[in-house]
Amino acid sequence: MTSRRQIRVGKSWMSPSEAEKALREAIRVQKEEERQHGDDHHHQGFVRTYIFSTDHKWIGIQYAITALLFLLFGFGLMLIMRWQLAFPGQPIPFLAGLLGDARAPGGILLPEAYNELGAMHGTIMVFLAIVPLAVGAFGNYVVPLQIGAPDMAFPKLNMMSYWVYAVGGVIMLMSFFAPAGAAQSGWTSYPPLSVIAGAGQTWWLVGMIFLITSSLLGSVNFLVTIIQLRAPGLTFMKLPFFVWAQFITSFLLLLAFPPLEAAGVMQLMDRVLGTSFFLPTGLVVGGEIVQAAGGGSPLLWQHLFWFLAHPEVYVLILPALGIVAEVIANNTRKPLWGYRAMVYATIFLGFMSFVVWAHHMFLTGMGTTISAFFQTTTMIISIPSVVILTSLFLSLWGSSMRFNTPMLFALAFLPMFGIGGLTGLPLGLAAADIHLHDTYYVIGHFHYVVAPGTIFAMMAGIYYWYPKVTGRKMNEKLGKLHFWLSLVFINVIFAPMFIQGLAGISRRLYDGGEQYAHAHPALKMNIPMSYAAWLLLLAQLPFIFNFFASIKWGEKVGSNPWSATTLEWAATTSPPLGHGNFVEIPVVHRGPYEYNAPGTTDEMDFLAQNAEDPVAPDGGFFPQHAVAKQEA
Amino acid sequence: MEIPYTIQARPDTGLYNGKLGIWLFLASEVMLFGALFSSLILLRTGAETWPAGWERLNVPLATLNTFILIGSSVTVILSWASLRLGDFRKAKIYLGITLLCGLGFMVIKAIEYGTKFSHHYYPSTDTFYSVYYMMTGLHGLHVLGGMVVFAYLLGPGAKMWEKEPGRYTNRVEVTGLYWHFVDLVWIFLFPILYLL
């Protein structure tokens, strides 16, 4: 009976405690050897270990820290905007000095500065915070471990992706110091406004070209890693759902980003070389005809931009769904309900996301036929999203859940993403969109998807994989405080936006819509919304403290504190070995979520992907395993 | 630590990492140039008048360039084939010819650009020239990128042949695939910009 709990190390079989000892011994020996061969290639200097590292784990951490800082910075920009929306025309407390006279004379925010904050909030959150966190950080750290790979397929390219991203980020930050400030044409940078805008827009375009290049390098790396470096026995249908989510995400990044790169180059040429790709003939600005050849098309930019930016929405959400799936399966102690359906839905979602882009453009007068096409595809793409979300909900049914911090974030994700998704349906229908377009309803919709949706999933992921990265757990009490406060405040911010939007308040008004009589009843909500936003910042303090303090004082844990089945927990130490992750590449015998499967016991209620088949009481195999063996 | 399948192909996919990587990269390049060609079509169909390319551009020089690029695609394959046969000296000669072809292409392109500039035809002149300079310019950057890699493989990168001949051969093959793509883009660019 002891055999079912044995783990293979090298060529021999051991009990988990013996295996743990053997791993520690292996690490000790490795360290000893490294110390003896000081010039050995394992032993690298400070720069190669911590700055220009090629180790996917360290690059993942670099991405995580950078992206979290950008997340905080982007959030900070919004907090200033929330003051202007709640108390238009009143001097900003505390920060007025920081903004300076050029942006806020006498502490009162100028319209140009408001536009600057809005454009940069969107850009930073999407391209510098969420995508690098979801793909760069979680993807880099977790995917190679989950597929049993020693590293990414191209470690140097991986390092380059991070540094190109970092340069892009620095350029975006520098643009705040450009004459007339950073980009002010929204995160969508629609021409002709963006072409005639100040110098900050040029910085924005150059920064974007760096960020796009980084994403392209990264996505090639992820795809090759997942296709080529899967451990023996790990077939595609045995991949953890998180890996599937990253796989499809990488395809989206690979194929959707180049058109924006093309568009970015064209807009850059419009601004620097005086071309007219996006400038129509006879454009009048401030009563004067713009000196340009003309003949271009502003709509061309919108098509190219949304051809990227709609798949980008799924880039934001798929890794989040992957993290939630991992956390839910682990804490319900059950297999995911409908794993295959979820995988097929994700693939279908990936395909469909390329043919829905023009639902962002119903108001451009494309014609009813095109509108009808895009609203049909938009309705179709909601089906796979619902399949995935429903599967996750059904996975909860009849389980005895563990309510730890990662699970709370994952559970909150489900209804929050549900609200975000369902409120998107009226926007996908051309008739309803005409009323709702560019109102706060749109802001409410996509922030529900991304903020209490994706960001909550990212938080679940941070609390879940923190023990893998550091060998220590984050504090549960602080985690729960962080969760409950965040959940309340984030809903107070975003739920009223639906009402404001239905009342017709435009999303881009500097004074929040003071001049519009119809808006006044709904405008009052701005004050509690803004207070909630500032309180949300305070609610992050327990997290920030927890994140750093737990590195030193967190509860020490073993290699598999959550009793998880996937390889990153079951086959390597916490933190994993510096070079190569595994003492020996694991061999995979089964699917990713064998919790409470036949052959498990109460004290050992899971079968790791790399564990040997358990032995039945009669000495043979359990029927399920016997069938699986025959099929193999 | 060794990354698996850097030299040998993985049995179930039949590819080594670099080859799969370059194919995926080329897929993204197809999307890049696809977006540019789509933009050209949209701008052209939306324009009131659009000049014929052969009236404005130098067709004989571009034809010569087409043959130069096609020739260089052949020599890069011959270089890879020589490496497979273990003939490093021949492979270097063929790689050198490929590099020279790339250089020749760029020189001819520079002559074309120079003539246009001397007649005061700039990217800002009209949408036709905007598209012409943008597309040939981006293609030229791709050619330049390929030349840098060839120069590296001939120069400091050639040492790899001594230690890891398999890996060096793979590098030449992967660069060759990229080079064929750059060639293919030109084969689309030439008729669409110069002949239509």
Residue A222 confidence class, pLDDT cut points 50, 70, 90: very high
The confidence score (pLDDT) of residue A333 equals 95
B49 touches chain A (CB under 8 A): no
Contact criterion met (CB < 8 Å) for B17 and A277: no
The confidence score (pLDDT) of residue B1 equals 73
Please list the alpha-helical segments (H only) found in A124-240.
131, 140-146, 155-174, 193-196, 200-228
ipTM: 0.96
Highest-pLDDT range among A121-125, A517-521, B48-52: A121-125
Residues in chain A: 632
* pLDDT tens, position by position, A578-595: 888 998 899 999 999 999
Of A126, A141, A250, A249, the C-alpha closest to B25 is A250
| Cα distances (Å, whole numbers) of residue A473 to A4, A402, A405, A461 | 28, 15, 11, 13
pLDDT beneath 70, residues of chain B: none
Cα dihedral A94, A96, A97, A98 in deg (nearest 10): 90
CA-nearest residue of chain B to A156? B3
* pLDDT tens, position by position, A21-73: 777 777 777 776 666 654 445 557 888 888 999 999 999 999 999 999 999 99
Residue A337 confidence class, pLDDT cut points 50, 70, 90: very high
CA–CA distance, A233 with A53 (Å, rounded to integer): 30
Strand partners, A284: A289
State chain A's mean pLDDT as an integer: 92
Which of A213, A223, A228, A290 is the best substitution to test chain B (most B C-beta atoms within 10 A)?
Answer: A228
pLDDT for residue A485 is more than 70: yes
pLDDT for residue A372 is more than 60: yes
pLDDT for residue A7 is more than 80: no
Q: Which helix (H) or strand (E) holds A86?
A: helix A56-86
Which amino acid type is present at position B64?
L
Of A171, A270, A249, the C-alpha closest to A211 is A171
Instruction: Using an 8 Å CB-CB cutoff, list chain B residues near A262.
Output: 32-33, 35-36, 39
Radius of gyration of chain A (CA): 26
Residue A586, preceding bond cis, omega within 30 degrees? no
CA atoms within 13 A on the CB side of A225: 31
* pLDDT tens, position by position, A226-263: 999 999 999 999 999 999 999 999 999 999 999 999 99
The confidence score (pLDDT) of residue A623 equals 66
Contact criterion met (CB < 8 Å) for A262 and B35: yes
* pLDDT tens, position by position, B39-78: 999 999 999 999 999 999 999 999 999 999 999 999 999 9
Say how many Å lie between the first and final Cα of chain A, rounded. 25
Q: Phi first, then psi: give them for residue A473, nearest 5 degrees.
A: -85, 150
Of A573, A572, A566, A569, the C-alpha closest to A588 is A566
**Over pLDDT 90: what percentage of chain A?**
78
A587 touches chain B (CB under 8 A): no
A91 Cβ neighbours under 8 A, 6+ residues apart:
A104, A106, A107, A108
- A318 near A249, Cβ under 8 Å? yes
The whole-angstrom distance between residue A333's C-alpha and the CA centroid of its chain comes to 25
CA B88 to chain A, closest CA, distance in angstroms equals: 26
Q: Describe the crossing of helices A241-272 and A200-228 by its angle, rounded to 10 degrees.
A: 150
Coil vs helix vs strand at A284: strand
Contact pairs from chain A to chain B, CB under 8 Å: 123
A582 touches chain B (CB under 8 A): no
The confidence score (pLDDT) of residue A2 equals 44
Contact criterion met (CB < 8 Å) for A229 and B124: no
CA atoms within 13 A on the CB side of B79: 29
Lowest mean pLDDT among A52-61, A606-615, A623-632, B136-145: A623-632
CA–CA distance, A82 with A526 (Å, rounded to integer): 8
Q: Is the dihedral of CA A164, A169, A170, A176 positive or negative?
A: positive
Which amino acid type is present at position A393?
F
Residue A44 is given by DSSP the state -
Residue A551 confidence class, pLDDT cut points 50, 70, 90: very high
Instruction: Using an 8 Å CB-CB cutoff, list chain B residues near A160.
Output: none
Contact criterion met (CB < 8 Å) for A273 and B125: no
Of A445, A481, A440, A439, the C-alpha closest to A463 is A481
Which of A227, A265, A279 is the best substitution to test chain B (most B C-beta atoms within 10 A)?
Answer: A227
Q: Give the burial class of A11: count Cβ atoms within 10 A of its Cβ; 0-12 exposed, 13-18 middle, 19 or more buried.
A: exposed
- A291 near A275, Cβ under 8 Å? no
A365 touches chain B (CB under 8 A): no
What is the greatest pairwise CA distance in chain B?
Answer: 62
- B138 near A263, Cβ under 8 Å? no
Contact criterion met (CB < 8 Å) for A304 and B124: no
Can you give A553-616 as a three-state secondary structure string? HCEECCCCCCCCCCHHHHCCCCCCECCCECCCCCCCCCCCCCECCCCCCCCCCECCCCCCCCEC
Instruction: Using an 8 Å CB-CB cutoff, list chain B residues near A275.
Output: 123-124, 127, 130, 133-134
Contact criterion met (CB < 8 Å) for A258 and B25: no
Contact criterion met (CB < 8 Å) for A151 and B20: no
The confidence score (pLDDT) of residue A218 equals 97
Lowest mean pLDDT among A96-105, A175-184, A547-556, B76-85: A96-105
pLDDT for residue A307 is more than 80: yes
Strand partners, A556: A472
Cα dihedral A108, A171, A541, A481 in deg (nearest 10): 110
Residue A630 confidence class, pLDDT cut points 50, 70, 90: low
